[in-house]
C-alpha cells in the first residue's frame, strides 16, 4: 500500500497571515509530498511495505525512519492547525496544563522558549505519558516522541522551511504567531482519547 498526501482540511491561504499560501505550497505541497514519495520508494519490496506508519517509525532507522517520521510529523502538525484556531485549551487538558505549568501563559512561554532554542532543525512537542502527565519535548531532525512511548498532543515544526519564506531567520516571530491557529479542540481530544 502506498502512502498518499492527505487533503488538508483548509485551503492553502486559510492560515494567513500566520502562515502564507506560498509557505504551505512548498511545505505541504513539496516538502511533505517529497517525504511521502521517498518513503514509498524506500519501503517498496521490503518488510515495511504493508506496515502502518507508526509501526515503521518504531521499527526503522536511517532514511526509512527519517522519511516515515517526517511524513507522520507533518500530517500531525498540519492537522493541528486551523483558521478558526487560537484561544485556550479547556477541560482536562487545561487542568493538566495548570497543574504542570501554573497557567496557560506560563506553558506558552516555556513551549516557545523550547521551540526558539532548539538548535538546527527539529520539532517541539507537547506530550503526555501513560498517567496523563504532560511534558514539553524537543526532538532534532525527524524525531518523534512515540519512539519513547510518549503520546504526542501538539507539535510545532521548527525546521527553517516551516517559516523561512514568511520570516526568514526570525523563528520567534513564527512561533509567536502560531498560537493563533492551534486547534485546541483537537489537542484536547488527543489528550482524553
Question: Which residues of this chain interact with Mn ion, rule CB under 5 A?
Answer: 157, 159, 162
Distance of closest approach, residue 95 Cβ to Mn ion, in angstroms: 31
Q: Which of 155, 159, 157, 146 has the alpha carbon at shortest distance from 186?
A: 155
Q: How far is the CB of 122 from Mn ion (least distance, A)?
A: 10
* C-beta of 31 vs 94, nearer to Mn ion: 31
For helices 184-192 and 62-80, angle between their N-to-C axes, nearest 10 degrees: 120
State the minimum distance, in angstroms, from the CB of residue 80 to Mn ion. Answer: 13
Nearer to Mn ion, 98 or 172 (CB): 172
Give the whole-angstrom CA distance, residue 96 versus residue 104.
10
> Which of 56, 78, 83, 85 is CA-nearest to residue 144?
56
Q: How far is residue 159 CA from its own chain's centroid?
A: 11
The strands making up 134-140's β-sheet, listed across from edge to edge, are 134-140, 122-128, 151-157
Can you tell me the distance from the alpha carbon of 12 to that of 173, in angstroms, rounded to the nearest whole number?
A: 20
Report the nearest approach of Mn ion to the CB of residue 31 (Å).
Answer: 5
Q: Of 74 and 190, which has the nearer Cβ to Mn ion?
A: 74
Nearer to Mn ion, 32 or 134 (CB): 32
Q: Which residues contact 57 (CB under 8 A, 6 or more apart)?
A: 65, 68, 69, 72, 144, 146, 147
Q: Where are the alpha helices (DSSP H) in the chain?
A: 21-26, 33-43, 53-59, 62-80, 91-101, 104-117, 164-167, 171-177, 184-192
Which residue, 159 or 179, has its beta carbon nearer to Mn ion? Answer: 159
Distance of closest approach, residue 173 Cβ to Mn ion, in angstroms: 17
Q: How far is the CB of 133 from Mn ion (least distance, A)?
A: 28
Task: Choose between 123 and 179: whose C-beta lies nearer to Mn ion.
Answer: 123
Amino acid at each position: 500500500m502506498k502512502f498518499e498526501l492527505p487533503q488538508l482540511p483548509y485551503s492553502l491561504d486559510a492560515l494567513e497571515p500566520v502562515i502564507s499560501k506560498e509557505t504551505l505550497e512548498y511545505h505541504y505541497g513539496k516538502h511533505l509530498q517529497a517525504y511521502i514519495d521517498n518513503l514509498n520508494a524506500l519501503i517498496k519490496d521490503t518488510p515495511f511495505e504493508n506496515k502502518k506508519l507508526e509501526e515503521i517509525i518504531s521499527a526503522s532507522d536511517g532514511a526509512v525512519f527519517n522519511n516515515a517520521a517526517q511524513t507522520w510529523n507533518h500530517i500531525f502538525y498540519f492537522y493541528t492547525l486551523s483558521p478558526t484556531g487560537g484561544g485556550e485549551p479547556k477541560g482536562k487538558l487545561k487542568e493538566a496544563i495548570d497543574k504542570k505549568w501554573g497557567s496557560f501563559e506560563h506553558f506558552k512561554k516555556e513551549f516557545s522558549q523550547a521551540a526558539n532554542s532548539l538548535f538546527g532543525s527539529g520539532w517541539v512537542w507537547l506530550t503526555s505519558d501513560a498517567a496523563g502527565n504532560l511534558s514539553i519535548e524537543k526532538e532534532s531532525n525527524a524525531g518523534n516522541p512515540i519512539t519513547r512511548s510518549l503520546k504526542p498532543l501538539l507539535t510545532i515544526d521548527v525546521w527553517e522551511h516551516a517559516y523561512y519564506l514568511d520570516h526568514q531567520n526570525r523563528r520567534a516571530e513564527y512561533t509567536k504567531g502560531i498560537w493563533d491557529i492551534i486547534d485546541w479542540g483537537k489537542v484536547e481530544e488527543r489528550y482524553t482519547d
